[in-house]
A = this chain, B = another copy of it.
Amino acid sequence: MAETRTQPSSTPSDDDSPSCRSGDHEHQPLRFDDSACERAAAIFRALGDPQRLRLLIMLEARSCCVSELAEVLQEPLPAVSQRLRVLKTERIVRSRREGKHVFYNLADAHISRLVTNGVMHAMEDS
- Beta-carbon contact of B20 and A67 below 8 Å: yes
* Contact (Cβ within 8 A) B43 A45: no
Cα distance A30–B77 in the bound complex, in angstroms: 19
Q: Could you tell me if A72 and B123 are in contact, using CB atoms closer than 8 angstroms?
A: no
Q: On chain A, which size bracket covers the interface?
A: 35 or more
- Give every chain B residue within 8 A of A50 (Cβ-Cβ): 37-38, 41
Contacts of A114 in B (CB 8 A): 114, 117-118, 121
| Contact of A15 with B by CB under 8 A | no
Tell me the interface secondary structure of chain A in the complex: helix
Listed by A's residue number, 21 A-B pairs whose Cβ atoms lie within 8 Å are A12-B72, A19-B67, A19-B77, A20-B65, A20-B68, A24-B68, A25-B71, A30-B72, A32-B119, A37-B53, A37-B57, A39-B126, A41-B47, A41-B53, A42-B48, A44-B118, A91-B125, A110-B117, A110-B121, A111-B121, A114-B121
Known: A37-B53, A48-B48. 19 other contacts (CB 8 A): A4-B74, A5-B74, A19-B68, A20-B101, A27-B68, A32-B119, A37-B57, A39-B125, A40-B53, A40-B118, A41-B52, A43-B118, A44-B47, A44-B48, A44-B53, A47-B48, A114-B114, A114-B118, A114-B121
